[in-house]
């Protein structure tokens, strides 16, 4: 039996490798742009897999840099993996951690006014601020 009379073209794509994130921490409301460093970051399109439940489109900057926007996520640590294969079919397997933290908020400013010439010491009261 002949399986096919038509030639089939296969393309080998190296699975990308993630070597680091900048920043490696961001606020839980998302909107942080993550620079993902690595190797073999080439292809027609790119995706960042954030944790186990979010996949976002990414921008290929060079063969060693991709940028993606972190989606909103509850506070905690997630794994960032990337794909440069068509349609995000194969992702890296490097277990690089990105940490979501609760966004801090200013709840008071003292004093509320200061000199036009500057030099006023201002104290801020914050909520949800991790100082560790």
**DSSP at 87:** G
> pLDDT truncated to tens, each residue of the chain (132 aa)?
556 667 777 777 788 999 999 999 999 998 899 999 999 998 888 999 998 888 899 999 999 999 999 999 999 999 999 998 767 778 888 999 999 998 877 888 888 888 889 888 888 887 776 655
User: What is the pTM assigned to this prediction?
Assistant: 0.73
Count the Cβ atoms, other than its own, within 10 Å of residue 19: 13
DSSP conformation letters of 11-75:
---PPPEEEEEESSEEETT--PEEEEEEE---SS-EEEEETTTEEEEEEEEETTEEEEEPPP--S
Contact, 84 vs 60, CB < 8 A? Answer: yes
């Amino acid at each position: 039996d002949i399986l096919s009379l038509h030639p089939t073209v296969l393309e080998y794509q190296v699975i990308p490798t993630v070597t680091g994130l900048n920043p490696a921490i961001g606020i839980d409301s998302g909107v942080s742009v993550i620079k993902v460093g690595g190797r073999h970051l080439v292809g027609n399109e790119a995706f960042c897999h954030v944790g186990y439940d979010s996949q976002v489109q990414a921008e290929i900057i060079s063969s060693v840099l991709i940028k993606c926007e972190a989606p909103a996520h509850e506070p905690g640590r997630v794994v960032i993996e990337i794909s440069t294969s068509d349609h995000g079919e194969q992702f890296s397997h490097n277990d690089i951690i990105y940490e979501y933290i609760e966004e801090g908020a200013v709840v008071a400013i003292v004093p509320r006014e200061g000199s036009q010439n500057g030099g006023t010491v201002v104290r801020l009261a914050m909520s949800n601020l991790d100082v560790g």
